[in-house]
Chain A
Amino acid sequence: MKVLVPIKRVVDYNVKVRVKADNSGVDLANVKMAMNPFCEIAVEEAVRLKEKGVVTEIIAVTVGSKAAQEQLRTAMALGADRSILVETDQEDVQPLAVAKVLKALVEKESPDLVILGKQAIDGDNSQTGQMLAALTGMPQGTFASEVVVADGKVNVTREVDGGLQTVALDLPAVVTTDLRLNEPRYASLPNIMKAKKKPLETVAPGDLGVDLASSTKTLKVEPPAERQAGIKVASVEELVDKLKNEAKVI
């Protein structure tokens, strides 16, 4: 069974991001980049399925600049067998464009399962997986906290508002990962060294017949308003009064 794992290069989650002075976006100069944490969970899940003997090949794929090779190498160090970089210098590739690229790759590679992060921590769109499912007509199990593959089906336990919901999907299917699905391993040193020898293919979006042009335009990016300092109240009465009349929460 073949698994396709799309990943994304984002600002490292430890970095405190800053907005550019001209409000055109987030300042990425000299900022540490890393694989999106939800994508790491997706890679880990694929590797675990491979260790169980369910999966035979894991293909990591990303859409981005040449620098995104680093994240593909990381995915291969974690256990992916090979990877594909759909190279573009376009900075803000929208989820729909990525979904179209992935659809083209799904047609080319015909994987039985596509596992991807539920969202990326930079755009927070949470759209790509769903759009891919819609474009390809594959069933989708989003926000997965447990994935079990058995008898040509995949059972996905989803985290929904009211609790857990388990859906059974026919293969091939799209699964997006939630935080509690697994805890990704640390890439081991021998595997990091092996990753260098694993194949990394580079293709242009045009080769896949996809136009990445965005239909949305970012007008302005602003940092959230700074939180105001708290105050001390003299008595419980004052606190209750403020909660009632100022904050209007009780």
Chain B
Amino acid sequence: MARDAVGYALGALNRLASSDFLDRVGIRKFIERLAYTLTKTGFRLITTTARTFKATQKLDKPARLTAPGQTTGLFDLNVTEEQQMIRDSVKSFATEVLRERAEAADAAHKTDDEVIDQALELGLNFFAVPESLGGAASERSAVTNLLIAEDLAYGDMGQAVAILAPMGVANALTSWGTAEQQSKYLPAFADEKPPRATIAITEPHPLFDPCQLKTTARKDGNEYVLNGTKALVPLAAEAELFLVAAATDDGPAVFIIEGGTDGLSCGEDNGMGIRASGQRPLLLEDVRVPAANRLGNSDFDYHQFVDLGTLAWCGMAIGACQGVLDYVIPYCNERKAFGEPISHRQAVAFIIADMAIELDGMRMLVYRAASRAEQGKSFQREAHLARTFVKDKAMQIGTDGVQLLGGHGFTHEYPVERWYRDLRAIGVVFGGLHI
């Protein structure tokens, strides 16, 4: 009742207050005052006459909501206990071995054999070879592979590429290889001395698109004849096994080519970054391979093959970016200008904050794509969103790393210039930024 009465009265008063009539008669102030007083006393009345609250139930402690028992996996970025142990082991190897040798490996344009051997002891290859062929893998592990790539590249991206390239080949053979291809090539990867192996997709053409290959594979009887040039092929000079992407009459395909095959040669240009990976151009001149060496059967999915490779590169970029971030934070807290640490300048602090935000953004996009791949769901869209974002932001973080160190950043004395060059690779592998 009270509410109705007050409501009507206020409604009438408000209409009156907003009309021109008051100004003409000269009583606006009085009416406005009246509306104000009535509102105040009116609301007081309501609050005292409305509902009375009573405790109907006695609580011993406050009721709080807990985490749901099951998660959808969508936003659960926790790793399993096993993955954590793998991360710990790989990361200590990366920081204690790869980081220490990064500068020398960059200068030598090669990853030291000793480092490769030590990496082998980690058993990375076993992880890509099924148990039935002497490995240790029992299920798909796109996420774990990604975490390994990230943690290795945290130490040094160039050496990480050299270490991971054979694993990528083994993973591809496990995913798509025919029974004959698997039994011929996979057991070697679980050997004490596994082969150096690498994947060649990128080509030195403007606006390169991995689906529009200029390297060709022409069917000739029971063989394929490959011709073309590949660029940025890690371990090109030393690999014993290559997976080479080439265009066939029925779309892009991947061929297993053994090192030393006639017509296979590599160039000299090392590129500006990830030099320790030993990446060089690869030349194919009438290279003949048996038709049985075309990877997989009809179930081979070239897009997935490329997308999984892209995700591995994204993982490495994330690891390298984390390295940059972990380096610039203490530097900017210690480096003084104008009597205080440069991190006290907003212009500096904002760059670092952006790095951290973008790094987490990259992780979420990339992890999600990998998680879908692992579950066997389609992940092309997710992989492409991830790739586009990572290409942009990883290079930005590389640049910012140099910028935050000022003049120091430009010198060889500090590692950020190397990280900048390494991260630049993400903009060109598997096609440029604008595809």
A contacts, CB < 8 Å to B: 34, 70, 73-74, 77, 185-196
Are A188 and B82 touching (Cβ within 8 A)?
Answer: no
Residue B2 at the chain A interface, CB threshold 8 Å:
no
In contact, B88 and A189 (Cβ under 8 angstroms)? no
CB atoms of A189 and B81 under 8 A apart:
no
A39 to chain B, nearest CB (A): 15
Shortest distance between the CB of A83 and any CB in chain B (Å): 14
**A73–B88 alpha-carbon span in the complex (Å):** 12
Are the C-beta atoms of B92 and A196 separated by less than 8 Å? no
A-chain residues with CB within 8 Å of residue B85 when the two chains form the complex: 70, 73-74, 77, 187, 192, 195
A-B contact count (CB 8 A): 48
Question: B121, A189: Cβ atoms under 8 Å?
Answer: no
- With A34-B88, A186-B89 as known contacts, state yes or no: A191 contacts B123, CB within 8 Å: yes
Identify which of A73, A186, A196 contacts B93 (C-beta below 8 A): A186
Q: Add 15 more A-B contacts to A185-B121, A186-B92, A188-B89 (CB < 8 A).
A: A70-B85, A77-B85, A187-B85, A187-B88, A188-B122, A188-B126, A189-B89, A189-B122, A189-B124, A190-B126, A190-B127, A192-B82, A192-B86, A194-B136, A196-B82
Knowing A192-B89, A193-B136 touch, does A186 contact B81 (C-beta < 8 A)?
no
Task: List CB contacts (< 8 Å) of B23-69 with chain A.
Answer: none
Contact among B122, B135, B136 for A186, CB-based, below 8 A: B122
B88 touching A190, Cβ below 8 Å: no
Sample of 11 A–B contacts (CB below 8 Å): A187-B85, A187-B88, A187-B89, A188-B121, A188-B123, A189-B124, A189-B136, A190-B135, A192-B86, A192-B89, A194-B136
Q: B98-132: which residues lie under 8 A (CB-CB) from chain A?
A: 121-124, 126-127
* Distance of A49 Cα from B223 Cα, bound (Å): 53
B251 to chain A, nearest CB (A): 35
Distance (whole angstroms) from the CB of A184 to the closest CB of chain B: 10
In angstroms, Cα B86 to Cα A190, docked, is 10
CB-CB < 8 A to B84: which residues of A? 70
Chain B residue contacts of A70, Cβ below 8 A: 81, 84-85
Nearest Cβ on chain A to B422's Cβ, whole angstroms: 23
Q: How far is the CA of A74 from the CA of B85 in the complex (A)?
A: 7
Q: Which residues of B contact A74 (CB under 8 A)?
A: 85, 88
Chain A residues closer than 8 Å to B88, beta-carbon distance:
34, 74, 187
User: Closest approach, in angstroms, between the C-beta of B337 and any C-beta of chain A?
Assistant: 18
In this complex, which of A187, A189, A191, A196 has the most chain B Cβ atoms within 10 angstroms of its Cβ? A189
Highest count of chain B CB atoms <10 Å: which of A73, A185, A187, A195: A187
Return the 8 tightest CB-CB contacts between A and B, nearest first: A188-B123, A190-B136, A187-B89, A189-B123, A190-B126, A190-B123, A189-B127, A186-B89
Interface size for B (C-beta < 8 A) is: 18
Whether B124 and A186, one on each chain, are in contact in the complex, defined by CB atoms closer than 8 angstroms, is: no
Inter-chain CA distance A191–B90, complex, in Å, is: 13
Chain B contacts for A185, CB-based, 8 A: 121
Residue on B nearest A12 in the bound complex, by CB = B88
Measured between C-beta atoms, what is the minimum distance from B135 to chain A in Å?
8
Report how far A186 CA is from B152 CA in the complex, Å: 13
B62 nearest CB across to chain A (Å) = 22
How far, in Å, is A181 (CB) from chain B's closest CB?
A: 18
User: Given the complex of chains A and B, what is the CA–CA distance between A1 and B82 in angstroms?
Assistant: 30
CA A185 to CA B89, docked complex, whole Å: 9
Report the separation of the CA atoms of residues A75 and B404 in the bound assembly, to the nearest whole angstrom: 41
Within 8 Å CB of B127, what residues of A? Answer: 189-190
Within the complex, the shortest CB–CB distance from A80 to chain B, in Å, comes to 14
How far apart sit A185 and B121, CA to CA, in the bound complex (Å)? 9
Minimum Cβ distance to chain A for residue B154 (Å): 13
A188 to B118, CA, bound (A): 10
Rounded to whole Å, the gap between the CB of A198 and the closest CB of chain B is: 13
Q: Which residue of chain A has the shortest Cβ distance to B97 in the bound complex?
A: A186
Give the residue name and chain of the B residue nearest to A77 (CB): B85
Q: Which residue of B lies closest to A78 (CB)?
A: B89
Q: How far is B90's CA from A11's CA once the two chains are assembled, in angstroms?
A: 19
Name A69's closest neighbour in chain B (CB-CB): B81
- For B84, B85, B122, B135, the residue with the greatest tally of chain A CB atoms inside 10 Å of its CB is B85
Distance (whole angstroms) from the CB of A200 to the closest CB of chain B: 12
Separation of A193 and B93 alpha carbons in the complex (Å): 18
**Would you give the 0/1 interface string for B212-247, flagging 1 where the beta carbon is closer than 8 Å to chain A?**
000000000000000000000000000000000000
In the complex, which residue of chain B has the Cβ closest to the Cβ of A187? B89
Write out the residue numbers on chain A whose beta carbons fall within 8 Å of the beta carbon of B86.
Answer: 189, 192
Query: What is the distance, in angstroms, from A205's C-beta to the closest C-beta of chain B?
Result: 25
CA distance A46 to B135 in the complex (A): 26
Chain A residues within an 8 Å CB radius of B89 = 77, 186-189, 192
Give CA–CA (A70, B136) in the complex, Å.
21
Q: B126 and A189: CB pair below 8 A?
A: yes
B131 to chain A, nearest CB (A): 10
B74-85 contact mask (Cβ, 8 Å, vs A): 1 or 0: 000000011011
Nearest-neighbor residue (CB-CB) of A74 within chain B: B85
Complex CA distance for A70 and B127, rounded to whole angstroms: 21
Bound CA–CA A190/B141 (angstroms): 13
Are A193 and B82 in contact, with the CB atoms below 8 A?
A: yes
Q: Which chain B residues border A187 with CB–CB below 8 Å?
A: 85, 88-89
Complex CA–CA separation, A186 to B92 (angstroms):
8
Q: Which residues of B contact A34 (CB under 8 A)?
A: 88
Closest A residue to B92 by beta carbon equals A186
Instruction: Please indicate which of the listed interface residues B89, B93, B127 has the most CB atoms of chain A within 10 Å of its own CB.
Output: B89
CA A187 – CA B123 in complex, angstroms? 9
**Which residues on the B side are within 8 Å of A196 (C-beta)?**
82
In angstroms, Cα B82 to Cα A201, docked, is: 18
B187 shortest CB reach to chain A, Å: 15
CB distance from A71 to the nearest CB of B (A): 10
A residues within 8 A CB of B90? Answer: 186
